[in-house]
Amino acid sequence: MNPAFPSAVLWDLDGTLADSEEYHWLSWRDAMRAEGVELTYDRFLASFGQRNDRILGAWLGEAADATRIRRIGDWKEAEYRRLAEARGLTPLAGAREWVERLHRDGWKQAIASSAPRLNVETMLHVLKFDGLIDAMVSADEVKKGKPDPDVFLAAAAAVSVPPSRCVVVEDAPAGVEAGRRAGMKTIGVNAKSPLAADVYVRSLADLPPDAFERLLTSA
């Protein structure tokens, strides 16, 4: 990478660098069950990658006042962190290799997540990514969640790299759309269904060695 043109990779976290779907499912299922709502797995999947206020607003409808949303969301996230710390997290295929390689090559890297900051900090610690990520932006730092571009624009600002020199890596349609709205190149990673990103792969391990440089060269 040419140091005269600083570049950054802005990573989603859940489902992109680590598979934490099971822990989110279990914690959401139990949180909603305590509220008298039986959550289906399909409905849970349809919400993945969104902020809690958006998720609970859709699930609870008119009953979703701000106090109730905060209470349910706080319980769910505390349970999620407990599961992650107790059971551990494993990086998805290619994730650690790419994060370490980009760090060695001088790329700035930031986490841009729809999760609360405590979740992001917990995940990075459990994954042992400490020292490899330059900045993190969570749902706590922005007013609007994905597909709005706020979290990616904030992450770019946090590493002092212009949006045109940033590559977003996402596993969800809302995240890819947020990256596009931010004016950034996008890589979609999803083993289950294709994503409308500039580059789509089923796994980070499938990316060619020059994937990130090529995207910015074609910008």
User: How far apart, in whole angstroms, are the C-alpha atoms of residue 113 and residue 100?
Assistant: 19
Catalytic residue among 14, 150, 171, 198: 14
Non-local (6+) Cβ contacts of 87 within 8 A are 23
Element (H, E) at 11: strand 8-11
Of 83, 92, 117, which is closest to residue 15 (Cα–Cα)?
92
To the query of whether residue 14 is one of the catalytic residues in this protein, the response is yes
Which helix (H) or strand (E) segment holds residue 82: the answer is helix 66-87
Annotated catalytic residue 65: no
**CB burial readout 85-114, b (16+ within 10 A) else e:** eeeebebbebbbebbeebbeeebbbbbbbb
The strand pairing partners of 199, in sequence order, are 187
Q: State the catalytic residue, choosing from 12, 150, 171, 198.
A: 12
Which residues are known catalytic residues?
A: 12, 14
